[in-house]
Amino acid sequence: MAICKYMNDCQFFGPEVGYSPEMYEHLRQGFCLGDSHECARLKAVRMIGPECIPDDLLPTETERLHEITIKMGLHH
């Protein structure tokens, strides 16, 4: 298990998370403490920059990230 290197800065860990505790814990175990390289939020740090990541983007929302990059004109 590798802890995500972005954990200290990630808004997913902010106090405003509105997800159910079960869902939050499931995602945290699966991504933040597990397969973080598959996390859409971590990919977003590289692709669009931390300041552009929607606070509510879920680690599973790779497709949504893809749409954001298209809207930003970053997709080639």
Supply the DSSP symbol for 31.
Answer: I
- Taking residue 31's Cβ as centre, other Cβ atoms within 10 Å add up to 21
Specify the residue, 16 or 76, whose C-beta has the smaller distance to ligand SF4. Answer: 16
Specify the residue, 51 or 73, whose C-beta has the smaller distance to ligand SF4. Answer: 51
Specify the residue, 6 or 68, whose C-beta has the smaller distance to ligand SF4. Answer: 6
Subset of 34-73 contacting ligand SF4 (CB under 6 A): 36, 39, 41-42, 59
Q: Which stretch binds ligand SF4 (CB under 6 A): 15-23, 31-39, 60-68?
A: 31-39
31 sits near ligand SF4 (criterion: CB under 6 A): yes
